[in-house]
Structure 1
């Protein structure tokens, strides 16, 4: 069952704005209490909703996305900030040499919100981001752990039953693909879900990558109920019960969202 926000860019943008204002920005402020003048980049910025509250508070922002169409959408919502020079919107790969040349050691905060679980070679990008941080810089990550009930993003399925079935994404690849096709999912949906199955990331794997790439975790938060559900489904956010959050692997299956701040050790 494809939800309204999957089709409605304005609704999706506003949900991002509200979630960022109420949850993402206050989390970042625990490490950076003074936001005015902070230099911020979002990787995979989409419509730009996450950056909007930061722009409102006086941050200087760069939004980068591989999809030019998504950058144009962001421009339609945030064009006034581009006009004043407070925002740059760029359709580019952050691995490009000229991007690194323009933004080496440029950002106090780099944001990957609902992005890392879609990126191949997560080890590479986590390591690469160090080159873009200022000496005091940190990276914010927010993502759904792979093993949680809908960690495979199966909610994008057109079939209502499939979109609601928890843990179906944990089936072996051939079985999962076969089930999707049996229920009539279109090729583009099947392809997207199989891509997510290849790149989905668990809490344990993320923290191993962070450690191997020479970062330390400065702050993390486990959510039993993802804050974005407040805006998508009218269900209040709820942090994970601390005894559950302390149990490796078990917590992956019942934690619907993780927030992290990390910085080079």
Structure 2
């Protein structure tokens, strides 16, 4: 059962805006209380909704996405900020030499919202981001842990039962693929879901990568109920109970979203 926001660009954009304004922005402000003039980049910016509240607060932003079509959507939604020169929207790979040449040590905050779980070789990108940060810079991550009930993004399934069925993405790959085929999912959906299965990331794996890449965690928040559900399903956000959040591995199964701010250990505020 494909949800309305999967098909409606304006609705998806507005949900991003509301979630960013109410939850992402206050989280970032714990490290950066003064937002005006802050230099911000979002990797995987999509329609630009996450950046909108930051632009409203006077940040100077760059949105990057591999999809030219989604960058064109963002340009439509953010036209007034483009006209003022407050935002740039780029369809490019951040590994490109010319991108690094232009933006090396440029950003106070880099945002990856619902992005890291889609990126192959997460260790590589987390390490690479250091080159794009200013001396005081930090990276924000928000993502669903892989083992949570819908960590496989199976809500995009056209079959209503599969779209609501929890933990089905934890089946072995061959069995998962077989179930998707059995319930009539098309080739594109199967490919997308298997790609997510190959890149999904747990809390423990993320934190190990952060440590190996010589970052420190400056802020962390776990949610029992993902804040975005407030806008998608009308269900209020709820933080994870701290004793549960402290239990390695088990916490992944019952935590639907995590927020992090991380900072290279050799950077000084």
Distance 1:42 1:76 in 2: 17
- Match of 1:103? 103
- Match of 2:227? 227
- Match of 1:148? 148
- Match of 2:22? 22
Distance 2:66 2:155 in 1: 23
Distance 2:153 2:223 in 1: 17
TM-score by length of structure 1 reads 1.00
Distance 2:30 2:70 in 1: 30
User: Superposition pairs for residues 125-164 of structure 1, below 5 Å?
Assistant: 125-164=125-164
User: What secondary structure does 1:216 align onto?
Assistant: strand
- Deviation string 1:117-166 (CA, Å, 9 cap, x unpaired) is 00000000000000000000000000000000000000000000000000
User: Superposition pairs for residues 232-247 of structure 1, below 5 Å?
Assistant: 232-247=232-247
User: What secondary structure does 1:137 align onto?
Assistant: strand
4+ residue segments displaced more than 2 Å = none
Distance 1:175 1:258 in 2: 28
- Match of 2:36? 36
User: Superposition pairs for residues 27-106 of structure 1, below 5 Å?
Assistant: 27-106=27-106
Deviation at 1:82, TM superposition (A): 1.0
User: What secondary structure does 1:184 align onto?
Assistant: coil
Distance 2:50 2:84 in 1: 19
Distance 1:251 1:181 in 2: 31
Distance 1:89 1:215 in 2: 28
Can you give the 5+ residue segments of structure 2 that lack an aligned partner in the other structure?
none
Distance 1:150 1:8 in 2: 21
Distance 1:257 1:76 in 2: 29
User: What secondary structure does 2:78 align onto?
Assistant: helix
Distance 1:110 1:51 in 2: 11
- Deviation string 1:8-51 (CA, Å, 9 cap, x unpaired) is 00000000000000000000000000000000000000000000
Deviation at 1:80, TM superposition (A): 1.2
- Match of 2:259? 259
User: Superposition pairs for residues 111-122 of structure 1, below 5 Å?
Assistant: 111-122=111-122
Aligned Cα RMSD in Å?
Answer: 0.3
- Say how many residue pairs are matched: 265
